[in-house]
């Protein structure tokens, strides 16, 4: 990677965020960002990378934008914007407002006025710097569909003149929820390995963590702390989750020496910090569960009583059937497969999880452990019906074969 | 990544154009090419003569056959193209939106396809 490419990776999102604030328009800011990097690619090989490349790029981009507006004004377009841009107070080297700009931009991209499916795409492109094509690949969507979603979201920002600002304290909690949810989805998309290239998936996880870190640095709200802890603890196990051939390795079978211990330590410390604040967020409880898993030297040493207790707590914060399912699995580990099976079957009888592959796979696994092999095979078969992802299909088919012998 | 911006125009878009309007459009179009060039986006651009100047060629069973362009049946025709270098599809869309003729016609943005060369895998 050349110096300029490295700077692009680290700085383009933040430079863009500041240019959007200064110019008040996404497209003009993107043009200016492009111009600034073009100028850098001409000048830096001769002069070296400046001490503060971000300030240099913002300054160059702003200058180019003014220049461009002036030039266009000659062809009859109005140029009253120039005065506004030139008046805008901005001092190179002033790091604080720039850090705030990145945060402002996330809040704008995740604004409730923007359709939920466009928020992720817009955040990934404008804040994380991914290309339209990369986003489409990560979400297994067509590039033109993602591109139009982004265009429409930007139009909406312009039409409604959505402000670039961190919301006032009275709205912050609600708006922060939307931002954290987008970060959570970005991470899951990278982590769940359902599709897409491995390299892009890893980048999505890294970006989600970076965004969450920024949020925590600027607003250490309990929810944000909890989410950062959760992402770090999940991501710490990423290398051990997939075998070299691409097959899924279950938590119980993972080589725990592959876990990133430094990240586990950081995540665990964050869980403690988040738990000290009220109210305890759902993300924090999920992170605490991950921390208990990470604390076990081997699968056999996992403290299932603690995990089951945390799921009881989580159920109060988030009563979704998926949480109930995970709780049932934890109880099965604590009290034996029979207790878990009763809970899973009661859940399936409620109907909401009828097409959820993990519910059928969990039931199959409990039946298998109880020695009810024919029923287990049938349940794995049902799970297989609802599974599209190749590695998961191989895993389930393998289980069915093993039970046939 | 390269994208081609294909400029599709209706037959009647210039019907209310004065000569001065036409000159202005030509100037704006050339200016935009220069602007793209300065920004490092420009690869190539051409305007095309009208579809009545076209000949369609095909070879079947080794024989060349030609017909007039299908200008009379189609409402829209290809008026020109700009080949650009852009970071991604959304940047290409932004560039396309700046083409002066986008206000009169429709710009089709297509990523270029590189034919895999078996000699150079």
Rounded to the nearest angstrom, the gap between the alpha carbon of residue A333 and the centroid of all alpha carbons in its chain is 29
Q: CA separation (Å) from A72 to A65, A68, B84?
A: 11, 6, 20
For A284, the token pair is 């924090």
Is residue A372 within 8 Å of residue A387, measured between CB atoms? no
B26 touches chain A (CB under 8 A): no
Closest-CA distance, A147 to chain B, in angstroms, reads: 6
Q: A8: which chain B residues are within 8 Å (Cβ-Cβ)? A: none
Q: Where are the alpha helices (DSSP H) in chain B?
A: 19-38, 89-98
B91 touches chain A (CB under 8 A): yes
Closest-CA distance, A143 to chain B, in angstroms, reads: 8
β-bridge partners, B66: B57
Contact check, Cβ <8 Å, B87/A34? yes
B39 touches chain A (CB under 8 A): yes
pLDDT in tens, chain A (405 residues): 577 888 887 788 889 989 998 888 889 999 999 999 999 999 999 999 999 999 999 999 999 998 888 776 655 445 455 555 555 544 444 444 555 787 788 899 999 999 988 998 998 898 878 889 988 877 778 999 999 999 999 999 999 988 888 787 778 777 888 899 889 988 887 887 555 556 667 778 888 898 899 888 877 889 999 999 999 999 999 888 888 777 778 888 899 999 999 999 999 999 999 999 888 889 999 999 999 999 999 999 999 999 999 999 999 988 888 899 999 999 999 999 999 999 999 999 998 888 888 999 999 999 999 999 999 999 999 999 988 777 788 889 999 999 987
- What are the strands, taking DSSP E only, across A138-279? none
B33 touches chain A (CB under 8 A): no
β-bridge partners, B9: B77
Q: What is the CB neighbour count within 10 angstroms for residue A250?
A: 10
Contact check, Cβ <8 Å, A31/B89? no
Q: What is the DSSP letter of A280?
A: P
How far apart, in whole angstroms, are the C-alpha atoms of residue A346 and residue A351? 9
B1 touches chain A (CB under 8 A): yes
Gyration radius from chain A CA atoms: 24
DSSP-derived secondary structure for A51-81:
SSHHHHHHHHHHHHHHHHHHHHHHTT---HH
Residue given tokens 């020496």 in the structure block: A257
Whole-prediction pTM value? 0.76
Q: Inter-axis angle of helices A282-295 and A222-235, to 10 degrees? A: 30
Q: CA separation (Å) from B79 to B2, B11, B13?
A: 20, 10, 11
Residue given tokens 């024989």 in the structure block: B63
- Among partner residues B35, B87, B89, which is closest to A147 by beta-carbon distance? B89
Q: What is the CB neighbour count within 10 angstroms for residue A94?
A: 11
Is residue B6 within 8 Å of residue B87, measured between CB atoms? no
Q: Hey, of B21, B42, B90, B102, which one would you mutate to test binding to chain A, going by the most A CBs within 10 A of its CB?
A: B90
B103 touches chain A (CB under 8 A): no
């Amino acid at each position: 990677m050349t110096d300029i490419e490295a700077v692009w990776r680290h700085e383009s999102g933040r430079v863009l965020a500041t240019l959007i604030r200064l110019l008040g328009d996404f497209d003009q800011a993107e043009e200016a960002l492009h111009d600034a990097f073009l100028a850098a690619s001409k000048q830096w090989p001769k002069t070296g990378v400046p001490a503060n490349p971000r300030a240099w790029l913002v300054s160059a981009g702003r200058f180019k934008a003014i220049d461009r507006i002036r030039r266009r004004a000659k062809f009859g377009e109005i140029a009253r914007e120039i005065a506004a841009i030139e008046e805008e107070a901005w001092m190179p080297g002033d790091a604080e407002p720039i850090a705030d700009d990145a945060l402002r931009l996330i809040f704008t991209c995740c604004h409730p006025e923007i359709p939920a499916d466009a928020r992720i795409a817009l955040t990934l492109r404008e804040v994380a710097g991914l290309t339209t094509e990369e986003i489409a690949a990560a979400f297994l969507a067509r590039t033109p569909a993602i591109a139009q979603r982004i265009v429409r979201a930007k139009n909406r920002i312009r039409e409604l003149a959505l402000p670039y600002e961190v919301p006032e304290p009275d709205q912050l909690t609600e708006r922060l929820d939307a931002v954290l949810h987008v970060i959570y989805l970005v991470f899951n998309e990278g982590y769940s390995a359902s599709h897409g290239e491995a390299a892009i998936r890893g980048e999505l996880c890294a970006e989600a963590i970076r965004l969450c870190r920024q949020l925590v640095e600027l607003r250490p709200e309990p929810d944000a702390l909890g989410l950062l802890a959760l992402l770090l603890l999940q991501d710490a196990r990423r290398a051990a989750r997939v075998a070299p051939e691409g097959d899924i390795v279950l938590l119980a079978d993972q080589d725990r020496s592959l876990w990133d211990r430094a990240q586990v330590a950081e995540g665990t410390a964050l869980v403690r910090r988040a738990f000290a604040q009220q109210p305890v967020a759902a993300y924090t409880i999920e992170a605490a569960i991950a921390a208990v898993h990470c604390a076990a030297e081997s699968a056999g040493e996992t403290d299932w009583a603690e995990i089951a207790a945390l799921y009881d707590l989580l159920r109060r914060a988030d009563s979704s059937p998926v949480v109930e399912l995970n709780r049932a699995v934890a109880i099965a580990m604590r009290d034996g497969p029979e207790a878990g099976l009763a809970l899973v079957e009661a859940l399936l009888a409620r109907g909401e999880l009828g097409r959820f592959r993990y519910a059928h796979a969990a039931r199959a696994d409990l039946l298998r452990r109880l020695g009810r092999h024919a029923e287990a095979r049938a349940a794995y078969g049902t799970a297989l019906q609802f599974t599209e992802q190749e590695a998961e299909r191989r895993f389930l088919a393998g289980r069915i074969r093993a039970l046939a012998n | 990544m390269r994208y081609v911006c294909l400029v599709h125009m209706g037959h009647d878009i210039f019907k209310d154009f004065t000569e001065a309007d036409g000159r202005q459009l030509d100037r704006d179009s050339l200016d935009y090419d220069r602007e793209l060039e300065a920004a490092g986006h420009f690869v190539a651009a051409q305007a095309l003569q009208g579809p009545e100047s076209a000949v369609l060629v095909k070879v079947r069973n080794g024989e060349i056959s030609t017909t007039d362009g299908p200008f009379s049946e189609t409402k829209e025709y290809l008026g020109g193209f700009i080949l650009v270098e852009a970071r991604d599809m959304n940047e290409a869309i932004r560039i396309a939106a700046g083409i002066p003729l986008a206000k009169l016609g429709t710009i089709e943005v297509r990523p270029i396809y590189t034919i895999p060369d078996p000699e150079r895998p």
